[in-house]
Amino acid sequence: MKNIIIGQSGGPTAVINSSVAGAYKKAKELGVNKVYGMVYGIEGFLGENIIDLDEYLNTDENIKLLKRTPSAFLGSCRYKLPKYEDAPEVYANIFTILDKYDIDAFLYIGGNDSMDTIKMLSDYAKDNNKKQVFIGIPKTIDNDLPITDHCPGYGSAAKYIATSLKEIIRDNASFGIKKPTVCIVEIMGRHAGWLTAAAALAQDDTCEGVDAIYLPEIPFDIDKFTKKIEKLAQEKKSIVIAISEGIQNAEGKFICELATERKVDAFGHKQLSGSAATLASIIANKTGLKTRAVELSTLQRAAAHLASLTDIEEAETVGAKAVEAANDGKTGMMVIMEREKDKKYSINYSLYDIHSIANVEKKVPREWICTKHNRLKTPYLSYVRPLIQGELYPIFKDGVPSHLIRK
């Protein structure tokens, strides 16, 4: 390969930049001349907003900083590539730019929507005998890509959620004489409850854990929920509940929509917020208990200072594997991770047809969810625990973590 280009797409994570680091290092090792970066994903690429990564990543120090920098170093986008028949000029533009920079491989780090871009571009390239190859690199805190065992970004978010919940549980347990405070913690996840499930990790030898976990996979019943809180309030001095932003009632109506306006983003998703605030208000009114709503919000996907070392290393590796795949002439594939069975945690990396991945959402298996006690079962904990292991401490400068940023 002469030159390659890499882009970041969709919601950022704490380790999305480690995939850039992994791809860059592997490309240089393979003798690639230029490793370009798309600024603001394919949306920026269409405006020829391209940088040469040598400018930024030519020192070990900068690579170290990049791996500790949250969010998309290159900039991201939520751009939905139109179908060829609707906008042939967009495709012409893309390949004109690729040819202009003599780019052989297009690597795209993203989730379900971003993999749709890889699918459409690789299909177009094959149908039109273009030389370029297109490889997807998995990334999403939501952990909802199919086929792959898990997605880089998830482990770090899970580690942050577990740590923050342990701290919130301690805080909420401070006051214990009067009636308990009910703290409802809202965790990201529209349709898949992977992130919220990570609340189960807060329970250990030194923490009583959350009292219940509500995932969007299971219809949410406000009356049952209220009864559960009333029962807990008789038994406990502190109540902490983890809910997904995407919990819905039996009619499929989002709980947050019971109180707030609905908004829609570029992909037609409903934009949710305020499920915890909505529930906190309902419970306060129904039970008279003091309630508090906490949203982990942006922090859960941006907390590089608490990233999982396992996650960082895996994000690097999927970046490197994508470069190898492109170098081998593969196209229309995403790098996937397979967990070795019956032994200590270990991941095998391979490739999978992008057509089976784009736009498919993987949910938490029903058999891992205990609906009776609103808990996650042991198989989930065995699945998630290895993903949060290890730390890569920030490089502190004057008391705060240092990052690498584009000029």
Q: Which of positions 279-308 make contact with a second copy (CB under 8 A)?
A: 292-295, 297-299, 301-306, 308
Q: Are strands 333-339 and 347-353 parallel, antiparallel or unpaired?
A: antiparallel
Nearest of 105, 28, 14 to residue 59 by alpha carbon? 28
Q: Does 267 bind a second copy (CB under 8 A)?
A: no
Binding characters for a second copy, 318-357, by CB under 8 A (x = yes): ----------------------------------------
DSSP string, 127-159: HTT-S-EEEEEE--TT---SSSS--TTHHHHHH
Q: Does 275 bind a second copy (CB under 8 A)?
A: no
Binding characters for a second copy, 47-66, by CB under 8 A (x = yes): x-----------------x-
Q: Does 140 bind a second copy (CB under 8 A)?
A: no
Of positions 176, 219, 365, 379, contacts a second copy by CB under 8 A:
176
Provide CB contacts within 8 A for 342, sequence distance 6+. Answer: none
CA distance 234 to 231: 5
Of positions 3, 93, 163, 249, contacts a second copy by CB under 8 A:
163
Q: Does 206 bind a second copy (CB under 8 A)?
A: yes
Tokens of 91: 């495709």
Query: Which position among 142, 144, 211, 311 bears the catalytic label?
Result: 142
Q: Does 401 bind a second copy (CB under 8 A)?
A: yes
DSSP string, 250-285: TTS-BGGGGTS--EE-TTSPEE---HHHHHHHHHHH
Of positions 7, 22, 37, 70, contacts a second copy by CB under 8 A:
70
> Using CB under 8 A, which of the segments 71-79, 129-137, 347-355, 371-379 binds a second copy?
71-79
> Using CB under 8 A, which of the segments 21-29, 36-44, 89-97, 331-339 binds a second copy?
36-44
Nearest of 219, 231, 143 to residue 188 by alpha carbon? 143
What b/e sequence results for 162-178 when a residue is b if at least 16 CB atoms lie within 10 Å of its CB, and e otherwise?
bebbbebbeebbeeeee
Residue 52 annotated among the catalytic residues of the structure: no
Of positions 204, 221, 328, 361, contacts a second copy by CB under 8 A:
204
Burial of residue 103 (CB within 10 Å: 0-12, 13-18, 19+) is buried
Q: Does 190 bind a second copy (CB under 8 A)?
A: no
CB of 375 to a second copy, least distance (A): 17
Q: Does 175 bind a second copy (CB under 8 A)?
A: yes
How many residues sit close enough to a second copy to count as binding (CB under 8 A)?
A: 74
Sign of CA dihedral 367, 373, 379, 383: positive
**372 vs 397 by CB, closer to a second copy:** 397
